[in-house]
Structure 1
């Protein structure tokens, strides 16, 4: 059985949303297939019309550890609450969730994500569960900075 994990996200613009998430996760664009130097060459080689070039996009962990994230174009916008969301840690953050230092680092990280297109929804500070910040990506998908 193949146990590799790929996360798939529906998107209005896979390339734009994928570029946002690459920035959030520290990922890079999935390399083009063998025989092509760029994705543009591959899409032209496959005969895909230009109006379909934003039908899909993928990003990968440059260290090869995390799962591939694939974005697929869908015609409808997100409706209702996510049934699944991602928890995004702070790069290089301390291992002591709930500390004031951790909260400041999380707020600073959230501010960087706002600069690349995210929106802060709400901060939570729960004595039992700790501190986290709920955010939305540019297409309204909810995720948490933890």
Structure 2
């Protein structure tokens, strides 16, 4: 039996963070449950007050290959370095200068979406760029 998993983020703004990761990964927001056209319609029908509509968000790979990302609202800000992070492979099949150029180009795109660069890293022949998403969560482009 194959196990499945999701990646969960704590966030101040689950909708905005989900939108960011959709644009980075090519993901889509999870569809509302059956019988509802929009999430707002579902949340209203369930009696959830509008101020709580941004408490949770989920995004997914439209092809079903990548894990679901669940984002939950928390009251406290991020306080320390992640103990776990995402490595996003943007240079599969490339090597040398071509690989480095691809990673740098993707970093520029992701920064335009709201990420910030921590630094470029080279170790044991590998190259990657460490970034932070809009809520400060570290991730790497390789």
How far is the alpha carbon of 1:94 from its aligned partner? 4.4
How far is the alpha carbon of 1:125 from its aligned partner? 1.6
In 1, Cα distance between equivalents of 2:131 and 2:10 = 17
In 1, Cα distance between equivalents of 2:2 and 2:79 = 32
In the alignment, structure 1 residue 101 sits paired with structure 2 residue 93: no
Q: Where do residues 8-19 of structure 1 align in structure 2 (5 Å cutoff)? A: 8-19=8-19
Match of 1:134 in 2: 130
In 1, Cα distance between equivalents of 2:40 and 2:2 = 30
Which stretches of structure 1, 4 residues or longer, exceed 6 Å deviation after superposition? none
Match of 1:53 in 2: 53
Give the alignment's Cα RMSD to 1 decimal: 1.3
How far is the alpha carbon of 1:2 from its aligned partner? 7.7
The CA deviation string for residues 78-135 of structure 1, in whole angstroms up to 9 with x for no partner, is: 1111000000111xx34134x1111011100000000110001100122x15100000
Match of 2:140 in 1: 144
In 2, Cα distance between equivalents of 1:24 and 1:73 = 20
Match of 1:64 in 2: 64
In 2, Cα distance between equivalents of 1:65 and 1:23 = 16
How far is the alpha carbon of 1:64 from its aligned partner? 1.2
TM-score, normalisation: structure 1: 0.93
TM-score, normalisation: structure 2: 0.96
Q: What residue ranges of structure 1 are gaps of 5+ in the alignment?
A: none
Number of matched residues? 142
In 2, Cα distance between equivalents of 1:120 and 1:95 = 24
Match of 1:76 in 2: 76
